[in-house]
Structure 1
Amino acid sequence: MISAVSSRLPTAVHVITLLLWSILPSSGSAGTETVAFKQAVAEAAAQDQDIAAFYRETGYDAIWTGTSGRERNRRAALIDALAAADDHGLPSERYGLGALEQKMKTARTPRDLGLVEVAMSRAFLQYARDIQTGALVPSRVDKNIVRQVPYRDRKSYLTNFAKSSPKGFFKALPPQTGEYNALMKQKLVLEGLVAKGGWGPTVKAKKLEPGDQGASVVALRDRLIRMGYLKRSAASTYDAAMTAAVVRFQADHGLAQDGIVGRGTLAEINTSVRKRLQAVIVAMERERWVNKERGTRHIEVNLTDFTAKIIDKGKVTFSTRSVIGARDAKRQSPEFSDVMEFMVINPSWFVPRSIATGEYLPELQQDPNAVNHLIITDRSGRQIDRANVDFTKYTERTFPYAMRQPPSRSNALGLVKFMFPNKYNIYLHDTPAKNLFGRETRAYSHGCIRLADPFEFAYALLAKQSGDPEGLFQKTLATGKETQLNLKKPVPVHIIYRTAVADSKGRIQYRRDVYGRDGRIWEALSQAGVALRGVQG
């Protein structure tokens, strides 16, 4: 596809260059042709305030349709970039390359060229924003993707492009991260596999384990070979080599590494190349939504991986399992970025109103002494006497009280919480419910992120500001008092959601779409015009 596009680029650029020499007057001329060109630019640009502002500042001069080598290089770079939009999983038809080339070829007057000039700027702006910060608006796809996308000023694209090397400018637009590069490489690999028919027949079985034999084992063997987990073999028994291959597959897909192909592992093994390709394209779009500096040290919570990590200079220096919000729409963990400022040791739990009225009020209406681990307070913060309150007269809307659980080992937040104050009331914290960390899928909370190793997480954070981080933490903990410990250097926190993600070696791993968000993103990308290359029909 790329070679075919490249072969036609010189033709389009050459045609418009010849036309320009015949249509436009020589440089510096102020004839009627120049006036007609600038009037056409002004009229066409008036439909877009950013484009109009740019051309007003430049005196309606051409940046694309001039006769110099500089303009010719800009045209070539734009056409080349638009032709390669599919490589980035972008909706290539949105940029109208075919129509743009046709306008170039059929331009016959200075006015025609003025209209082509603005059409090129319009296509350029659409492409530049899409490839730098995404083709979709995340919150329109899913209300729980509340990320603030780092959009750039649209006019600045034109201003900076006019001052830059055309090829260099386009090359710098996509995310300059190892993650994005790894995803692009995987996209090409998967497109090749799609064109060749994928990974072959699916495995038809309910469960397979070491020692098994038969057609299902052979199908499993062949699929693992095509996926690159098993060397070529004629074995028809679920042997040690196949067991090791299954364990590697499970590790790459966030599954329990037991070497047994149960229902969960089988579902992942039978997932098609096409589905994996969709996940990669969605991950590329997601990477564009966070196309900014993440922080030399930052915290990354990948919801689909059920992990929280501390990353220093691009390397994971600490990792722990996490429990995320339940699948219920009201309890799902949102996606956003913020900055962690402090931790609270021996925290109180201030019960969110949604939980107080939705879960605890009905219990209090049945029994005023229910949930007696909670202190109920009035608007002034004074503890009320439950015996003097008729809870049955209140509704979720009229309930006038607040609830708080004081510090203790049984506190819902455990013994420490990590705060990055935000309007979603989301934070990381300890939990007394340690049993949940042993499960493969860990979506059980009300939205906050529970950590399996909160003390060690605290030590890792405090190590940057204390010679004895563990001692500092434990000394504070031993007081039993609620204590805020500030981070001298706040740490960015990024709560992300990736079903396709690169490991430390750049290999792509896959996770399940626990909230169904990636499915909705793919649907939106598809509606916008993104198509899978290599897929027929």
Structure 2
Amino acid sequence: MLMKSMPFSAITARVWLFMSAIAVMLFAAPIAQAQVTDFRQAVAQAAASDDDIAAFYRERNYEGIWSTSGDRRRRNALMAAFASAGDHGLSSARYDPQPLMARLQSASTASEQGNVEVELTRMFLQYARDVQTGILVPSRVDSNIHRQVPYRSRLATARAFVQSNPDSFLRALPPSSPEYTRLMREKIAMERLLAAGGWGPTVPGGKLEAGSSGNSVVALRNRLIAMGFLERTNTQTYDAAIVAAVQRFQQAHGLAIDGTAGQGTLREINVAPETRLQSIIVAMERERWNNRPRGTRHIWVNLTDFTAKIVDNDVVTFETRSVIGANHRDRVSPEFSDVMEFMVINPSWYVPRSIITKEYLPQLQQNPNAVSQLQITDSRGRTVNRGAVDFTQYTEANFPFSMRQPPSRGNALGLVKFMFPNRYNIYLHDTPSKSLFGRETRAFSHGCIRLADPFDFAYALLARQVSNPEEFFQSRLRTGTEQRVNLNDPVPVHLVYRTAFTKPEGHMQYRRDVYGRDARIWNALSREGVAVRAVRG
């Protein structure tokens, strides 16, 4: 649903002048006249159903924090935060100041004032959690999002708030990361764009390329201008300027950069601005889930971007293409954060049981010599004679053997793997299947992350602990045997899923929703009252 809204400055001007007046006249005065004991009893009773709020007021002997003329600054700061909730991609309806104003006006008895007092605290704590660590519980939206959200203590939040400057405290609640700031700025710009009519008509027709002309080229030209990829021009021919603009668009959307508006490129060009805005709002929610330091040096694997990056002090110092898990129920790559502790040069591949029983057992039942590159071992690690085993007697449930591929250039893990031990058995690794890195969409693995440039990735990690990382790595590679190399300074690893993300300079970046996760997140946010807005500047 598209909601029309006034800009925040207009809301502020109209609400706060009126709010300040009625808050003092209609709310503060009665509480001064009411029996203090009655008010405190009402607060105690209203807070009793919430352990954190009850503990907070009990520590204060049930004294209010919103209820007197001296609390006006705190009230106004809270209402200002509520009025800007929609800017953060939260539900504007949930934090609408008008119903609160009505309750403030009608609270004439100590009991009513006590109830409003506690309700304001409850809403403050709800807002603090929503804007700081997100509206949703990630794992409830998608079971493959294993994000440990850094929830703050509600009681500690309330305590800190009353001891702080209320405006500064509330401003500090949202994530302070540059990415969140840039996403919010882009969100507001997109809302103004929607109010001004969006990007105009979509581009009809089929493939367009250099030399094409006609109405479809004009529509393409106009849309690229509206999107900011093309300077204003009157050309009606697919000329060099349009080729360059299409290339810029393709780069910003993770597409093959050929300057031709083929079926895939046109599909992305014709995506509605409302849909792009939904992606930004989802990205802001995801940023709140990860509202903690990422690490001065960290590894950032954006699944939808098919890249793995090393980031030092917020600057990307190394980047390589990646292949992620296939879009199949038991192959998708999960999202989580962990710490990379070591690499293994010349690794063995210990085949996951799910692959053994689902893929290789059926082949062995047809031909005992199938997948001959793999060793079959028993529970003691001894190699099993294939000819002595009747594989047809086994099922997925009772297959008693393990499988291992020794180190080699043909090993499924290639020549190096990067380990951040986790219960999902996910890691980064080399691969002998290099051709897949030339694909535009690279979702082919069983869940682990394959790297296009694993040796250079290793050199970048080792550069901080050895003087000649390339020679150090190659000398161990030449042994042909497994070599574990610990990282002196373990590196945080974040496997994330961002279909909308920013760059410090340049266009907003959008990627396809490979697994449909962001669509599920948006649907969940919608159920919580989050909506796309058009805001006039």
CA contact (8 A) 1:182 1:508 kept: no
CA contact (8 A) 1:16 1:105 kept: yes
CA distance in 2, matches of 1:279, 1:509: 10
CA contact (8 A) 1:12 1:104 kept: no
Number of the residue aligned with 1:380: 380
CA contact (8 A) 1:100 1:119 kept: no
SS of alignment partner, residue 279 of structure 2 = helix
Q: CA deviation at 1:282?
A: 0.7
Number of the residue aligned with 1:29: none
Matched, 1:18 2:20: no
User: What is the identity, as a one-letter code, of the residue corresponding to 1:209?
Assistant: E
Number of the residue aligned with 1:38: 40
Number of the residue aligned with 2:229: 229
Q: CA deviation at 1:204?
A: 1.1
CA contact (8 A) 2:341 2:486 kept: yes
CA distance in 1, matches of 2:453, 2:124: 48
CA distance in 2, matches of 1:95, 1:376: 61
User: What is the identity, as a one-letter code, of the residue corresponding to 2:437?
Assistant: F
Q: CA deviation at 1:112?
A: 1.6
SS of alignment partner, residue 62 of structure 1 = coil
CA contact (8 A) 2:28 2:67 kept: no
SS of alignment partner, residue 93 of structure 1 = coil
CA contact (8 A) 2:27 2:104 kept: no
Number of the residue aligned with 1:169: 169
Number of the residue aligned with 2:362: 362
Decide which of 50, 54, 64 is 2:56's aligned counterpart: 54
Number of the residue aligned with 1:494: 494
Matched, 1:64 2:70: no
Number of the residue aligned with 1:278: 278
Change (3 A) 1:204 1:20: closer
Number of the residue aligned with 1:253: 253
CA distance in 1, matches of 2:250, 2:356: 40
Q: After superposition, where does 1:282-361 map in structure 2 within 5 Å? A: 282-361=282-361
Q: CA deviation at 1:383?
A: 1.4
Change (3 A) 1:484 1:118: same
Give CA deviations for 1:210-266 in whole Å, capped at 9, x if unaligned. 011111111111111111111111111111111011111111111111011111111
Give CA deviations for 1:491-510 in whole Å, capped at 9, x if unaligned. 00011111111113264111
Give CA deviations for 1:326-351 in whole Å, capped at 9, x if unaligned. 11121110111111001011101111
CA distance in 1, matches of 2:273, 2:420: 39
Q: CA deviation at 1:353?
A: 0.7
Q: CA deviation at 1:10?
A: 3.0
Q: CA deviation at 1:311?
A: 0.3
Structure 2-normalised TM-score?
A: 0.96
CA contact (8 A) 1:95 1:126 kept: no
Q: CA deviation at 1:527?
A: 1.1
CA distance in 2, matches of 1:117, 1:10: 21
CA distance in 2, matches of 1:155, 1:101: 25
Q: CA deviation at 1:47?
A: 1.2
Q: CA deviation at 1:406?
A: 0.7
SS of alignment partner, residue 534 of structure 2 = coil
Number of the residue aligned with 2:475: 475
Structure 1-normalised TM-score?
A: 0.96
Gaps of 5+ in 2: 1-5
User: What is the identity, as a one-letter code, of the residue corresponding to 1:450?
Assistant: R
Q: CA deviation at 1:318?
A: 0.2
Q: CA deviation at 1:473?
A: 0.7
SS of alignment partner, residue 249 of structure 1 = helix
CA distance in 1, matches of 2:348, 2:533: 54
What percentage of residue pairs aligned between the two structures are identical? 62
Stretch moving more, 506-515 or 459-468: 506-515
Higher relative contact order (CA 8 A, sep 6+): 2
SS of alignment partner, residue 300 of structure 2 = strand
CA distance in 1, matches of 2:87, 2:32: 39
Matched pairs, number: 529
CA distance in 1, matches of 2:392, 2:258: 51
User: What is the identity, as a one-letter code, of the residue corresponding to 2:11?
Assistant: V
Stretch moving more, 300-309 or 223-232: 223-232
CA distance in 1, matches of 2:502, 2:110: 50
Q: CA deviation at 1:20?
A: 4.3
Number of the residue aligned with 1:447: 447
Q: CA deviation at 1:96?
A: 5.4
Number of the residue aligned with 1:79: 79
Number of the residue aligned with 1:435: 435
CA distance in 1, matches of 2:329, 2:305: 19
Decide which of 3, 9, 22 is 2:9's aligned counterpart: 3
User: What is the identity, as a one-letter code, of the residue corresponding to 1:430?
Assistant: D
CA distance in 1, matches of 2:325, 2:299: 18
CA contact (8 A) 1:12 1:105 kept: no
SS of alignment partner, residue 521 of structure 1 = helix
Change (3 A) 1:58 1:535: closer
Change (3 A) 1:3 1:471: same
Number of the residue aligned with 1:212: 212
Give CA deviations for 1:105-157 in whole Å, capped at 9, x if unaligned. 11112222111110000000110000000011111111111111111111111
SS of alignment partner, residue 323 of structure 2 = strand
CA distance in 1, matches of 2:508, 2:28: 50
CA contact (8 A) 2:195 2:535 kept: yes
SS of alignment partner, residue 492 of structure 2 = strand
CA contact (8 A) 1:182 1:507 kept: no
Q: CA deviation at 1:490?
A: 0.5
User: What is the identity, as a one-letter code, of the residue corresponding to 2:314?
Assistant: G
Number of the residue aligned with 1:127: 127
User: What is the identity, as a one-letter code, of the residue corresponding to 1:221?
Assistant: R
Q: After superposition, where does 1:175-186 map in structure 2 within 5 Å? A: 175-186=175-186
CA contact (8 A) 1:182 1:506 kept: no
SS of alignment partner, residue 125 of structure 1 = helix
Change (3 A) 1:21 1:119: closer
CA contact (8 A) 1:360 1:371 kept: yes
RMSD of aligned Cα (Å): 1.4
Q: CA deviation at 1:535?
A: 9.0
CA distance in 2, matches of 1:211, 1:20: 71
CA distance in 2, matches of 1:63, 1:245: 56
User: What is the identity, as a one-letter code, of the residue corresponding to 1:36?
Assistant: D
CA contact (8 A) 2:31 2:67 kept: no
User: What is the identity, as a one-letter code, of the residue corresponding to 1:15?
Assistant: I
User: What is the identity, as a one-letter code, of the residue corresponding to 2:9?
Assistant: S
Change (3 A) 1:114 1:230: same
Give CA deviations for 1:161-180 in whole Å, capped at 9, x if unaligned. 01111011111111101111
CA distance in 2, matches of 1:374, 1:59: 71
SS of alignment partner, residue 533 of structure 1 = strand
CA contact (8 A) 1:96 1:123 kept: no
CA contact (8 A) 1:414 1:429 kept: yes
Number of the residue aligned with 1:196: 196
CA contact (8 A) 1:92 1:530 kept: yes
Q: CA deviation at 1:25?
A: 3.7
